[in-house]
Amino acid sequence: MDHQSPLATDTPPESIAILRLSAIGDCCHMVPVVRSLQDAFPATPITWLIGRTEAALIGDLDGVEFISFDKRRGLSEYRRIRRELGQRRFGALLHAQVALRANLLATAARAHRRIGFDAARARDGHGLFIDERIQPQPEAHVMAGFFGFAEALGVEERSMRWKIPIPGAACETAARHIYDDEPALVISPCTSQRFRNFRNWAPERYARVAEYASERGLKVLITGGASDEEARYGEAITRLSQAPVTNLVGQTSLKELLALLGRATAVVAPDSGPVHMAVAAGTPVIGLYATSNPRRTGPSLGQHWVVNAYPQAVQRAFGVDEDAVSWGRRVRDPAAMELITVDAVIERLDALLATPAEQRMNR
């Protein structure tokens, strides 16, 4: 039977395996945890089992061995991971994902300590694959939950640094789009396509923000992946905006996007991976939140720039204050993002531009 993990240990684990496959935002949250473990245990090797897409972004962190998992390959991929781990035994497995495929992979990683989420955050049989749980953290940000795994190993000091490597070619690509010291606003308008995942704002509202940003002297760029939905958004915003917009949707790799976000003055985006990529790159984000709670999934730094319509969305959907619903409950209302006004986003942009650059990422 699993039990609560102790909060301290005098002996560093001989090795650490981290099991966090997805998503991009969550894996970005895990990077400072890895940095904190490296600071505390510089001689301890760390292995990270990670998804294929996420590995394209952070699979070259210094001092970390990555084992990439491609779910598209089905059972053959589970067999490959099991062969790759072979006879290895880790000092600690940090099972930091509640999903069936993660549980199956957890069986391939043998470890002296198998640490997972507390009961409130566990599902899909998560508790069957661990023997210790991190401390409960009611109403915590996702990143704080991940730091619970470091605390289970006795690491209390949090290092809020990412230092995700960016290849020179990606930096050069970004520099061609945003020149040195050029004020720029990056709009990443879409979130991931999931069932009843109503997080996207209207293209015409993004276009109004683009126009205002251009009036303030910022170059405006739109980014996104290669999906049809993102392509439609990029085309619509470009067409509706009366100001010049550079449409880069579908034209950047994850490393190029990270470099581009790092050169921007600010980013506007809904609850999505690029929010957390921008934070990792040191750029403030005007996050657009209505169907999800930004206190749980918003930017881990600079959260005061968020436009938060979640309380109003909860009140409209459930007839109660947000404190009366379970932590992190989604609002499945396709009209919820309409609660975010253009004026509210412009107000946050004005406030951000009026703040000295070195203070914009303060907590």
Q: Look at residue 192 in the predicted model and tell me its pLDDT.
A: 80
Q: State how far the Cα of 4 lies from the Cα of 115, in Å rounded to an integer.
A: 9
Which residue's entry shows tokens 């403030």?
284
Q: How confident is the model at residue 359 (pLDDT cuts 50, 70, 90)?
A: very high
Q: What would the mean pLDDT of 212-217 be, rounded to a whole number?
A: 98
DSSP, collapsed to helix, strand or coil, labels residue 130 as: coil
- Under a CB-based contact definition with an 8 Å cutoff, are residues 122 and 99 in contact? no
Q: Look at residue 197 in the predicted model and tell me its pLDDT.
A: 80
Residue percentage of the chain with pLDDT more than 90: 93
Q: How many CB atoms lie within 10 A of CB 8?
A: 10
The average confidence (pLDDT) of the chain is: 95
| Closest among 299, 283, 298, 295 to 360, alpha carbons compared | 283
Q: What would the mean pLDDT of 140-150 be, rounded to a whole number?
A: 97
Sheet holding 3-4, edge to edge: 3-4, 132-133, 110-116, 89-95, 16-19, 46-51, 64-69
Q: State how far the Cα of 14 lies from the Cα of 97, in Å rounded to an integer.
A: 22
Q: Exposed, middle or buried, 234 (CB in 10 Å: 0-12/13-18/19+)?
A: buried
Distances (CA, A) of 123 to 134, 203, 344: 14, 36, 37
Q: What would the mean pLDDT of 72-89 be, rounded to a whole number?
A: 94
The DSSP call for residue 305 is G
- Under a CB-based contact definition with an 8 Å cutoff, are residues 316 and 294 in contact? no
Q: What would the mean pLDDT of 290-311 be, rounded to a whole number?
A: 97
Q: How many CB atoms lie within 10 A of CB 254?
A: 20
The pLDDT tens digits of the residues spanning 311-330 come to 999 999 999 999 999 998 99
Q: State how far the Cα of 109 lies from the Cα of 107, in Å rounded to an integer.
A: 6
Q: Look at residue 48 in the predicted model and tell me its pLDDT.
A: 98
Token pair listed for 307? 């436009």
Residue 8 pLDDT exceeds 80: no
Q: What would the mean pLDDT of 30-53 be, rounded to a whole number?
A: 98
3, containing H or E segment: strand 3-4
- Under a CB-based contact definition with an 8 Å cutoff, are residues 171 and 191 in contact? no
Residue 5 pLDDT exceeds 70: no
Residue 6 pLDDT exceeds 80: no
Q: Look at residue 196 in the predicted model and tell me its pLDDT.
A: 72
Q: State how far the Cα of 110 lies from the Cα of 354, in Å rounded to an integer.
A: 52
152, containing H or E segment: helix 142-152
- Under a CB-based contact definition with an 8 Å cutoff, are residues 115 and 99 in contact? no
- Under a CB-based contact definition with an 8 Å cutoff, are residues 243 and 206 in contact? no
Question: For the chain, what is the radius of gyration of the CA atoms?
Answer: 21
Please tell me the pTM assigned to this model.
0.96
Q: Look at residue 11 in the predicted model and tell me its pLDDT.
A: 85
The pLDDT tens digits of the residues spanning 88-116 come to 999 999 999 999 999 999 999 999 999 99
Q: Look at residue 3 in the predicted model and tell me its pLDDT.
A: 56
Q: How confident is the model at residue 4 (pLDDT cuts 50, 70, 90)?
A: low
Residue 43 pLDDT exceeds 70: yes
Q: State how far the Cα of 83 lies from the Cα of 222, in Å rounded to an integer.
A: 42
Query: What does 137-204 look like in DSSP terms, one character per residue?
Result: -TT--HHHHHHHHHHHTT-------------HHHHHHHHHHS-TT--EEEE-------TT---PPPHH
Q: Look at residue 7 in the predicted model and tell me its pLDDT.
A: 44
Q: How confident is the model at residue 229 (pLDDT cuts 50, 70, 90)?
A: very high
**Encoded amino acid at 71, one letter:** K
Residue percentage of the chain with pLDDT more than 70: 96
